[in-house]
Amino acid sequence: MIERLPGARPSADRVAAFFDLDKTVIAKSSALAFSRPFFAGGLISRRAALKSAYAQFVFAVSGADADQTDRMRAQLTALCTGWDVEQVRSIVDETLHDIVDPLIYAEAGALIAEHIERGHDVVIVSASGQEVVGPIATMIGATHCAATSMVAVDGRYTGEIGFYCYGENKAVAVRRLAEEHGYDLSRSFAYSDSSTDLPMLEVVGHPNTVNPDRALRRAAGERGWPVLVFTKPVSLRSRFPTPSATTVAVTAIGLGAIATAGATWYGLHRRRRRS
């Protein structure tokens, strides 16, 4: 599912920066990070919450390959069958800052601010569910987001997937956005940590790897792509307003203010890349 976020500008710049979310912008899996509040809200059992915590640990220490991601996808879709959509949205809205705030990489915040200052649209492209990705994207000042959408009937998830924003489908989403908003993909940027996102990275003129897994690091070496290392999750609580139609410019100022070190790193990296 592709969503235009509050405050999104009509496309005039024709350049976008496409960001994967998990382990690229934030330090954990966005979907699994909400297992505790979902448990508190009665949506999942204690056993399911523990399984999610274990999956989060595996994801954090090794990254999820395609088989692991597919298994996690199957488990999560089975888990959410019958959930009330509005309850999920309410839990995410109520706990967003507590859950996500401490996880955002300072370097990613600086990079997002840099793109916004240059007049680029920022787009989050994630395999996690729209109800999770949309509010996170709004919080960090993104213009659009593309995420997995679950089929709902009478306000409850059926367990079927409408659009799985993963692998080649991320490239499909990027091309759709480019066609809709007039982005010049040859001038656009993409950032990801996973080899499963190679299709998205290959569709833009400026692909970048962030904390890449082994396969993506190898591909980056073969193709001469930049390898960025993000290591500093920093709480942004005091810098972000509650998600609303607040202007992207205000969000960008907040991002830049808390990420001076990351901005300095990115500026040095960008100058080296231009040379």
pLDDT confidence of residue 106? 92
- We report the CATH number of the domain holding residue 109 as 3.40.50.1000
Number of other residues whose CB lies within 10 A of the CB of residue 95? 17
Residue 78 placed within a domain: no
20 included as an active-site residue: yes
The whole domain housing 266 covers: 2-27+103-274
Residue in 22, 101, 193, 197 annotated catalytic: 22
Number of domains in the chain: 1
Which stretches of the chain score pLDDT less than 70?
A: 1-13, 30-77, 79, 235-275
CA distance 157 to 161: 9
pLDDT for the residue 205: 98
Q: Which listed residue (20, 101, 197, 213) is catalytic?
A: 20
DSSP state of 124: E
- For residue 92, the model assigns a pLDDT of 80
pTM score of the predicted model: 0.72
**For residue 72, what pLDDT is reported?**
62
Q: Are 268 and 135 in contact, with CB atoms under 8 Å apart? A: no
213 is annotated as an active-site residue: no
Asked whether residue 83 is assigned to any structural domain, the reply reads no
Contacts of 100 (CB under 8 A, 6+ apart): 26, 30, 33, 136, 139
Contact 80, 149 (CB under 8 A): no
Is residue 187 in some structural domain? yes
CB count in 10 Å sphere of residue 89: 15
